[in-house]
Amino acid sequence: MADKQISLPAKLINGGIAGLIGVSCVFPIDLAKTRLQNQQNGSRLYTSMSDCLIKTIRSEGYFGMYRGSAVNLTLVTPEKAIKLAIFSFSVCLLSQVIVTTPMEMLKIQLQDAGRIEAQRKLMPETVVPGTVPTKSPTAMQLTRELLKEKGIAGLYKGLGATLLRDVPFSIIYFPLFANLNTLGKRGAEGPAPFYVSFLAGCLAGSTAAVAVNPVDVIKTRIQSMNRGSTEETYSGVTDCISKILKNEGPSAFLKGAYCRALVIAPLFGIAQVVYFFGAGEYILSFLPGN
C-alpha cells in the first residue's frame, strides 16, 4: 500500500470513503468525547463515556447519539480527503482547516445541545433561565445565526486552536505510521499486508490523538457557544489554558482522551485499508480515458 504510486484524485476519493465509513461507525463515541470535554466543575452530568452514552439514549433516544452527524458526514468527505491525501504531499494545513473549523464548530454545538438540555432538566441551578433553547437548533439555523451575528468569522471561531491541534497530530501520525507499516513489510521491497496497515493506522492514530488531546479540549471549549451559569467562557487559547488550570487542574486537559483515541484509531485504520485495496483507483477506472 505504502509503495503504490496513487494519483491525487484517487487519494481524495480514498480519503473521502474512509472518512464516511469511519465516522458512521464511531460518531457516538465522538459525541461522548465532546460532552465530556465540555463538562466543567459544578456541572458534571457524566462520569464516563459509557455513562454519557447510556444517559443520552435514555433522555434523547438512540438517534440522540448521532446529533450533528449530518454536518459531519456532509463535510467529512472533503476534510478527510484533504487530511489523508494532501498531507502526503506536505502541503500547508490551511487547505484543511478551511473545511475542518466550520464543520467542527457546528458539530460541537449540535453534539453539546443534549448536555445543556439535560442540565436544564436535572441541574436547573446551573443554567441561566432563557439562555438555553427549548428545542435543539439545526445546522442551518446555527449557520444563519452565526453569519448574522458575527459574519464569516463566526464559523471560524477556534481556528488557531484547530491549527495547534492538527499540526502536531500530523507531525506525530504520518512518520509513526510509516515506520510501523515498514516493520510489517514482506521482504525489503514488498508491501505490508492490509492488516498490518490497519493496525499501524490504528496505533499511530490513537497515539497522535492522545498526544494532542489537551489542545482538542481547548478547541472544544472555545468553540462551544452555550454555557451553564457556572461554566466559564474563554476569549482565546491562553485565556482558556489559564482558566482550566486554575479551576479544574491539569487533569482536565485529558478529558475525553480515551474517547478521542477510540474515534481516531478506527478512522485512520480504515483509511489505510481503503488505500490498500485501491477503492479510489477502482472508481476512477470507470471514467472515460482511464
Give tens-digit pLDDT for 129-156: 555 555 667 888 888 888 888 888 888 9
C-alpha cell at 17: 470513503
- The pLDDT assigned to 254 comes to 95
pLDDT-based confidence at residue 84 (cuts at 50, 70, 90) = low
pLDDT-based confidence at residue 268 (cuts at 50, 70, 90) = confident
Supply the pTM of this predicted model: 0.85
C-alpha cell at 248: 479544574
**C-alpha neighbours within 13 Å on the C-beta side of residue 234:** 25
Phi, psi torsion values for 145, nearest 5 degrees: -65, -45
- The pLDDT assigned to 43 comes to 72
- The pLDDT assigned to 51 comes to 94
Q: Which of 46-55, 77-86, 177-186, 237-246 has the lowest mean pLDDT?
A: 77-86
Query: Helix, strand, or coil here: 289?
Result: coil
DSSP string covering 65-104, please?
A: GGTTHHHHHHHHHHHHHHHHHGGGGT--THHHHHHHHHHH
Q: Which residue do the cell numbers 478506527 mark?
A: 266
Identify the structural domains of the chain with CATH numbers, from first to last: 8-286 (1.50.40.10)
When the pLDDT of each residue in the chain is averaged and rounded to a whole number, the result is: 83
Could you tell me which of 276, 75, 98 has the C-alpha nearest to residue 177?
Answer: 276
Distance CA 30, CA 101 (A): 16
- The pLDDT assigned to 134 comes to 53
Q: What is the mean pLDDT of residues 73-92?
A: 61
Query: Is pLDDT larger for residue 264 or for residue 228?
Result: 264
- The pLDDT assigned to 188 comes to 66
Give residue-wise pLDDT tens across range 205-250.
Answer: 999 999 999 999 999 999 988 776 667 889 899 999 999 999 999 9
- The pLDDT assigned to 89 comes to 47
Could you tell me which of 175, 184, 187 has the C-alpha nearest to residue 87?
Answer: 175
Percent of the chain at pLDDT > 70 equals 83
Tell how far CA 235 is from the center of its chain.
22
Residues 6+ apart with CB under 8 A from 71: 103, 106, 107, 110, 139
- The pLDDT assigned to 232 comes to 85
Query: Is pLDDT larger for residue 116 or for residue 228?
Result: 116
Q: Which residue do the cell numbers 507531525 mark?
A: 171
